[in-house]
């Protein structure tokens, strides 16, 4: 036992060390911490709450729907569910993504809706405590601050945390559901 005490600072006993470890573990598991899936778009890093992420998949072609927003790439069939795919680069006003096999679709839940977001690459899973999230400064920028939940500094980089529920107009999603259902009916009427 004295060998263990020799390695600890003089003010720290094994009992107090155990208490510090337990406090750190409690902080890790407390509800003020969240995890984010981070990804890149145009050499910038963004994060989305991991609780909204349903799956991450390689880019696959989409079926375009008429009269859709420019940033709506189309829809895919994901195990029998029609999922709209949105190009975040385009949504942020940075031009359309020239999707290749290296691009990724992150499938997320927004309320009761399932949709996909096209990104350049997935980077990491980041643990963030509420106190580490900084407000978005008010200034001119290419990305609408309404889409952002906050900013967090990680090592020498800044990660913008997205509020996915604010990225998409829920009315537009309802219209898209109607278009998708119409498309499914059209396909069903053609296929015997």
Q: Which residues contact 115 (CB under 8 A, 6 or more apart)?
A: 83, 84, 85, 86, 107, 108, 168, 173
**Between residues 166 and 57, the one the model is more confident about:** 57
Instruction: Summarize pLDDT for 41-91 with one digit per residue, the tens.
Output: 999 999 999 999 999 999 999 999 998 888 999 999 999 999 999 999 998
Structural domains in the chain, CATH included, are 32-190 (2.40.50.180)
Q: Is residue 75 a contact partner of residue 82, using CB atoms and an 8 Å limit?
A: yes
Query: Whole-model pTM?
Result: 0.70
Percent of the chain clearing pLDDT 90 (strictly above)? 48
């Amino acid at each position: 036992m004295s060998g263990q005490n020799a390695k600890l600072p003089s003010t720290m006993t094994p009992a107090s060390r155990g208490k510090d470890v337990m406090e750190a573990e409690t902080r890790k598991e407390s509800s003020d911490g969240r995890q984010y899936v981070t990804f890149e778009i145009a050499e910038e890093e963004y994060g989305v709450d991991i609780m909204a992420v349903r799956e991450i998949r390689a880019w696959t072609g989409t079926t375009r729907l008429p009269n859709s927003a420019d940033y709506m790439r189309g829809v895919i069939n994901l195990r029998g569910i029609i999922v709209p795919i949105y190009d975040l680069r385009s949504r942020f006003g940075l031009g359309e993504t020239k999707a290749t096999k290296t691009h990724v679709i992150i499938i997320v839940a927004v309320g009761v809706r399932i949709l996909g977001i096209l990104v350049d690459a997935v980077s990491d899973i980041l643990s963030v405590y509420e106190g580490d999230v900084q407000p978005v400064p008010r200034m001119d920028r290419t990305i609408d601050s309404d889409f952002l939940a906050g900013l967090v500094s990680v090592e020498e980089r800044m990660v913008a945390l997205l509020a996915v529920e604010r990225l998409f107009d829920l009315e537009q999603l309802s219209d898209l559901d109607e278009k998708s259902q119409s498309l499914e009916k059209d396909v069903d009427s053609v296929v015997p």
